[in-house]
A = this chain, B = another copy of it.
C-alpha cells in the first residue's frame, strides 16, 4: 500500500534533519556559519531529493527562464489595513480604470488587426499582380525573378526581425498564451518588442507567401497589447473578466466593421470586402440522406487520422529545427530563407505540370482574370483558358480558401491539381512551422483540409447530394478537429467563417469524429508544442497515479524557512542561495507559545524591506510602524521583468547583523493541505485556486509546523514519476 510505505521513508527523511552530516557537503558548508538552533528550525526537512525539472522553457525560438503566476489573495497586516482604508471613491476609480482599459485594448487590437489585414492584402496583392502581369507578357523568367526575389526579401526581413530582435515572436504564440493563462509567465513572451516583431513579422511572413496563418499571431498580439496597456500582473486574468472580455470583443467587432465599411468602395487598395465570411451559403435548407451522413463520417475519420499524423510530423520537424535554432540567429535566418526558396519553387514550379482548363462560358467573373486577384489565373495558358493549380498557388491563402469553398463552380479544379496542391500544402505547412517567423497554424490546416474535403466531395459526387463546397468546408473542419482538438471553439470559428447556423450539426459531427479518432494516436498540436517547449502546464485533471501518492511524497527540499524575527544575514543568504519565491515563516517562543506556522513571505516583498533597510538593532516586533514607512502600493506586483533584484541592494556589515520583523509582510493564511492528502486532491486545489505555493503541514502535532511547499513544478509528471518510477504502471 504505497502511502504507508511513503509515510515511512518520508519519516526517515525527517530523521535526516537531526544528523545533518548526511546532507550534501555544499549545502552544509553554505549554512555552517549559522547557529545550530536556527539550522534545525530553518530546515525541518532537508531532503536529498530535489526537484530537477527545468525552470527554463522555449519561448518562441529562444530558451528563457519562466516564473509561475500567483492568483492567491495575499493577506498580511499591510494589505488588510489597505482594504479597511479603501474609500468608495477609490473603488469607483478602480472600476472606471478597468473598463477604460478594456475599451482601450479593444480599440487598439481592432486597429492593429485591421492594419494587419490591409497590409497583407496590399503587399502580397502587389506581388501577385506583378508576377501575373509579367507572365501575361510571356516573360516567364522575369516573373519568376520578381516573385522569388520579393518572397525571399520579405522572408529574410521577417526572419531577421524574429531571430535578432525578439525570438519570442516566432511561431504561433498560442501555446505560450495558453501556458500564460494556465499560470506560466515567461517575461519575454508579452514584452513590447515581441509585440512589435509579432505584428510586422507576421505581415512580412504572410506576404512572403509562406504557408502560415496570421490568426495565431493575432491572438498573441492581442495578449501583448493587453499586457502592455495593463502592465501585466496576474490579477488581470481572472474568471471575473468575462464581462470585460465580452465588452472588448464588442469594441473590436465594431472597429473592424466600421473599417470594412470604410473600405467598401475600394478606398483601401486591394483590400476587398475584408473577407470575414469565407463560405457564404444560400439560406435554403439543404436536406441530406443516409449516404451523405456516411460520406461525412468517412470524411471525419480519415481527416482525424491525417490530422494526428500532421501533429506527429510537426513534432518531429520541431525537434530537428531546435538543433539548428540553437546554433544562433544567423542560422535561423538561413533556415527561413531555405524554406522560403522551397515554398517559392513549389508555388511557381508545380503549376507547369498541369494542363490548361478552358474557361467556363457561363462564369460571371472574367476569365482569365487580368486586373485583380481572381479565380482564374492564366499562368502559361493561352487566352480563353486558365491554369487551375496556379489559381490556387499564386493567390493569397484567403482567396485560395474562398475558391476551394466556392459552391458555384463545381468542376473548376482537376483532380490532379487538387492532389498536387494537397500534398504540397500538407508538407509545406509542416516544414514551415517552427522557423523563426510568426506563423499561425490555422490557415495551413484549413487549406489542406479544404482541398482534402473537395477531393472527397468529388469521390462521393455520384452518391451524395451535398455540395462540393460544403464538403470542402467539412474537410477543413475535420483537419482542424484532428490537429487542434478544441471542438467547441473551432465550431464557433467555423460558424464565423460560414455565417450559417444550419450547417452547425454537420460541422459538429465532423469535429467530434475527427477529434475522437485523432485522440487515439496523440494529443492536440498545441498541447504537444507546450510539452515540447517544456512549459510546465497544469492539466485540469489529476493523473490516475496521483491518487496513489500523498502530498508529502511530492514535496522536495531543501525547504528554507524563516522565523518571524530573523537576522538580515539569514534572509539575504537564503535569497542568494535559493531561487525560491516563497518562504514559510515560523513563529517561535517567546513570540508564540509553541512553534507555529505564521504564514508565507514572498521574495519580492522581502526585497522591498531589504531595499528600504527596514531593520532594527534588537530582536523585537516592529508593530504598526511599518504602516508609516510603507504604503501597500510599494509591494504591488511590478510589471513583467521590472522587479527588484537582490544585486541592486547593497547592505553593510552591521546591516547584516540587524534584525528584520517579517510578521507585517507575511501572508498569514496561505492555503495548506495535510501531508496525508492524496496528491490528486492537492493538485485539484492548487489548479482551481491558481496557486503558486501550497504549504504542506504535518498530520500529527508536536512536529515542525511545516513539512514542505508544493509548487507547479512538483506536480509535473516527470518530477513525480522520477521519484516513484513504479507509479508508471498507473499512468
User: Which A residues fall within an 8 A CB radius of B?
Assistant: 1, 3, 73, 75, 80, 83-84, 239-240, 242-243, 246-247, 249-250, 253-254, 257, 260-261, 264, 276-277, 280, 283, 285, 287, 487-488, 491, 495-496, 499-502, 504-505, 508-509, 512, 540-541, 544, 547-548, 550, 592-594, 596, 668-669, 671-674, 676-678, 680-681, 684-685, 688-689, 699-702, 705
Distance in angstroms between the alpha carbons of A688 and B540 in the assembled complex: 13
| Complex interface: chain B residues within 8 A of A260 (CB) | 285
Closest approach, in angstroms, between the C-beta of A299 and any C-beta of chain B? 16
Contact check, B685 vs A508: say whether CB atoms are below 8 A apart: no
Distance in angstroms between the alpha carbons of A496 and B264 in the assembled complex: 27
Contact check, B239 vs A540: say whether CB atoms are below 8 A apart: yes
Distance in angstroms between the alpha carbons of A689 and B684 in the assembled complex: 8
Contact check, A508 vs B688: say whether CB atoms are below 8 A apart: no
Using A83-B548, A509-B254, A689-B684 as known contacts, say yes or no to A487 and B246 having CB atoms under 8 A apart.
yes
24 A–B contacts, CB within 8 A, in A order: A75-B681, A83-B544, A240-B540, A242-B488, A246-B488, A246-B491, A247-B512, A250-B508, A253-B504, A254-B509, A257-B502, A277-B501, A499-B500, A499-B501, A594-B701, A596-B700, A669-B676, A669-B678, A669-B681, A671-B673, A672-B674, A684-B689, A685-B685, A701-B702
Pick from B3, B75, B250, B705: contact of A509, CB below 8 A: B250
| Complex interface: chain B residues within 8 A of A541 (CB) | 240
Pick from B257, B285, B671: contact of A685, CB below 8 A: B671
A246-B508, A596-B699 given; name 8 further pairs at CB < 8 Å. Answer: A3-B80, A75-B678, A80-B547, A254-B509, A260-B285, A669-B674, A671-B673, A672-B672
| Complex interface: chain B residues within 8 A of A689 (CB) | 684-685, 688
Please list the 10 inter-chain residue pairs (A to B) with the smallest Cβ-Cβ separation, ordered nearest first: A669-B677, A250-B508, A253-B505, A254-B505, A688-B688, A701-B701, A499-B501, A261-B287, A594-B701, A83-B547
Closest approach, in angstroms, between the C-beta of A701 and any C-beta of chain B? 5
Closest approach, in angstroms, between the C-beta of A123 and any C-beta of chain B? 26
Using A84-B548, A681-B75 as known contacts, say yes or no to A701 and B501 having CB atoms under 8 A apart.
no
| Complex interface: chain B residues within 8 A of A488 (CB) | 242, 246
| Complex interface: chain B residues within 8 A of A673 (CB) | 669, 671-672
Pick from B73, B243, B544: contact of A680, CB below 8 A: B73
Closest approach, in angstroms, between the C-beta of A413 and any C-beta of chain B? 26
Pick from B73, B239, B508: contact of A253, CB below 8 A: B508
Distance in angstroms between the alpha carbons of A512 and B488 in the assembled complex: 24
Distance in angstroms between the alpha carbons of A1 and B684 in the assembled complex: 34
Distance in angstroms between the alpha carbons of A676 and B502 in the assembled complex: 56
- The closest CB in chain B to the CB of A282 belongs to B283
Distance in angstroms between the alpha carbons of A212 and B68 in the assembled complex: 51
Distance in angstroms between the alpha carbons of A596 and B674 in the assembled complex: 12
Contact check, B73 vs A684: say whether CB atoms are below 8 A apart: yes
Distance in angstroms between the alpha carbons of A681 and B667 in the assembled complex: 12
Distance in angstroms between the alpha carbons of A548 and B79 in the assembled complex: 11
- The closest CB in chain B to the CB of A240 belongs to B541
- The closest CB in chain B to the CB of A496 belongs to B501
Distance in angstroms between the alpha carbons of A544 and B3 in the assembled complex: 41
Distance in angstroms between the alpha carbons of A501 and B257 in the assembled complex: 11
| Complex interface: chain B residues within 8 A of A550 (CB) | 669
- The closest CB in chain B to the CB of A280 belongs to B283
Pick from B509, B676, B700: contact of A593, CB below 8 A: B700
Residue in A504, A548, A592 whose Cβ sees the most chain B Cβ within 10 Å? A504
| Complex interface: chain B residues within 8 A of A73 (CB) | 678, 680-681, 684
Closest approach, in angstroms, between the C-beta of A111 and any C-beta of chain B? 16
| Complex interface: chain B residues within 8 A of A512 (CB) | 246-247, 250
| Complex interface: chain B residues within 8 A of A495 (CB) | 501
Distance in angstroms between the alpha carbons of A681 and B73 in the assembled complex: 7
Closest approach, in angstroms, between the C-beta of A2 and any C-beta of chain B? 9
Distance in angstroms between the alpha carbons of A544 and B94 in the assembled complex: 15
Closest approach, in angstroms, between the C-beta of A474 and any C-beta of chain B? 14
- The closest CB in chain B to the CB of A688 belongs to B688
Using A253-B508, A285-B261 as known contacts, say yes or no to A594 and B702 having CB atoms under 8 A apart.
yes
Residue in A257, A496, A541, A680 whose Cβ sees the most chain B Cβ within 10 Å? A257
Distance in angstroms between the alpha carbons of A504 and B249 in the assembled complex: 10
Distance in angstroms between the alpha carbons of A676 and B496 in the assembled complex: 50
Closest approach, in angstroms, between the C-beta of A516 and any C-beta of chain B? 9
| Complex interface: chain B residues within 8 A of A261 (CB) | 285, 287
Distance in angstroms between the alpha carbons of A3 and B247 in the assembled complex: 38
| Complex interface: chain B residues within 8 A of A678 (CB) | 73, 75, 669
Contact check, A592 vs B700: say whether CB atoms are below 8 A apart: yes
Contact check, B669 vs A249: say whether CB atoms are below 8 A apart: no
Distance in angstroms between the alpha carbons of A512 and B671 in the assembled complex: 37
Closest approach, in angstroms, between the C-beta of A596 and any C-beta of chain B? 6
| Complex interface: chain B residues within 8 A of A285 (CB) | 260-261, 264
Distance in angstroms between the alpha carbons of A84 and B685 in the assembled complex: 22
Distance in angstroms between the alpha carbons of A505 and B1 in the assembled complex: 59
Using A280-B283, A689-B688 as known contacts, say yes or no to A677 and B592 having CB atoms under 8 A apart.
no
Pick from B491, B548, B676, B701: contact of A668, CB below 8 A: B676
| Complex interface: chain B residues within 8 A of A75 (CB) | 677-678, 681
Distance in angstroms between the alpha carbons of A548 and B80 in the assembled complex: 8
Using A243-B487, A540-B239, A700-B594 as known contacts, say yes or no to A249 and B680 having CB atoms under 8 A apart.
no
- The closest CB in chain B to the CB of A512 belongs to B247
| Complex interface: chain B residues within 8 A of A487 (CB) | 243, 246
- The closest CB in chain B to the CB of A239 belongs to B540
Closest approach, in angstroms, between the C-beta of A418 and any C-beta of chain B? 29
- The closest CB in chain B to the CB of A592 belongs to B700
Using A75-B678, A488-B246 as known contacts, say yes or no to A702 and B257 having CB atoms under 8 A apart.
no
Distance in angstroms between the alpha carbons of A668 and B502 in the assembled complex: 52
| Complex interface: chain B residues within 8 A of A277 (CB) | 501
| Complex interface: chain B residues within 8 A of A680 (CB) | 73
